[in-house]
Amino acid sequence: MNTSMNSSRSTTSPRSLQQLIRQHSLLFFFLMAYAFSWILSIPVVLSEWHILPKTAFTFNFFFIIKSFGPFLAAYIIIRITEGKEGWRALRSRFTLFRVGWQWYVFILLGIPALLLLGIIVLPGALASFQSLPPHFPIIYLVSFIFIFFGGGPLGEEPGWRGFALPRMQSRYGALWGTLLLGILWTFWHLPDFFTSAQKGGPGTGLYPFYYGLPVFFLEVMALAIIFTWVFNHTEGSIFIAILLHTSYNAFGIMQSLFSAQIVTNTDLPFAISTGVLALLIVILTRGQLGYQPRHEPPLSLGKIEV
């Protein structure tokens, strides 16, 4: 009798787990995204603090692959909850290139101009600009391509914007769903504050946490609003989300040409510039951020519950 009961439990347990994940798909997505990325961040942090040798493998390799936590989590949850059809639908948005040309202009030219403006308005920042290195356009293009495929955007956006955002907008509304995603997106980066990626590491004390993290929080919350606005006007294109993320990250090449500490040691210029744009978007769209529920395809939605 015990054998049959154990056999019954073993056959029903996977099905029960699948049902639980379907009911709480967003919760399980974020748990997986955090778990995968934070576990893979351990070698990065240990190498930064010289507990492990800081080699190209222990630092750069793990720093790149840990960014694919949201992508992996989205793939697993979609395959469990929606099967092959759900994954095929998500995958089709990777090749959604045909959006208005103005969005390419905004992403490729507007975003760098916005970030540069954030630097210019700070006292003494512009005066610290150094001359452009030889062949700067080539350097920027090569860096842009590398960041697109390996610097975070490709690993993050299929999860944040591809999986989570449509479901969070549908359940919580455009603005509140975006702000909640922004909070979770911010603290997903928490291990980075123990490393040089967010100006942490040996000798930095608590500076990255009491100053860097609050500024970063404001920056990411503003970015989340901008990303949602672009996402909703480009038919939910994951390609465009990746491109936008890449353009933002690639500006670091230009940022390195300024020597003022307010530019090199903080994200304050970018928190200011993105914050102003995000506020304008919220005001002009009345908090809708371009969201139109009637155009949204049916989704298997999961509620975030504890």
Query: Using one digit for the tens of pLDDT, what is the confidence trace for 252-290?
Result: 999 999 999 889 888 999 999 999 999 999 999 999 999
Cα distances (angstroms) measured from residue 153 to each of 46, 71, 118, 127, 250 = 24, 10, 22, 31, 11
Q: pLDDT grade, residue 1 (50/70/90)?
A: very low
Exposed e or buried b for every residue in 36-60, given b needs 16+ CB within 10 A? bbeebbebbbbbbeeebebeeebbe
CB atoms inside a 10 Å sphere around CB 16? 10
Which has the closest alpha carbon to 277: 244, 246, 252, 253? 244
251 pLDDT exceeds 80? Answer: yes
Assess if residue 289 is contained within a domain: yes
d(CA 51, CA 47): 6
Q: Which amino acid is at 53?
A: P
Number of domains composing the chain: 1
296 pLDDT exceeds 90? Answer: no
Instruction: Copy the structure tokens of residue 239.
Output: 């390609």
SS3 285: coil
Assess if residue 301 is contained within a domain: no
Domain that holds residue 68: 2-295
Assess if residue 304 is contained within a domain: no
SS3 9: helix
Assess if residue 108 is contained within a domain: yes
Assess if residue 99 is contained within a domain: yes
- For residues 60 and 70, the model is more confident at 70
Assess if residue 124 is contained within a domain: yes
Q: Which residue's entry shows tokens 């919760």?
A: 27
Rg (CA), the chain: 21
d(CA 210, CA 203): 15
Contact 67, 79 (CB under 8 A): no
Assess if residue 306 is contained within a domain: no
Which has the closest alpha carbon to 167: 180, 183, 186? 180
DSSP single-letter state for residue 128: G
Assess if residue 169 is contained within a domain: yes
Query: Using one digit for the tens of pLDDT, what is the confidence trace for 148-197?
Result: 998 799 999 999 999 999 999 999 999 999 999 999 999 999 999 999 99
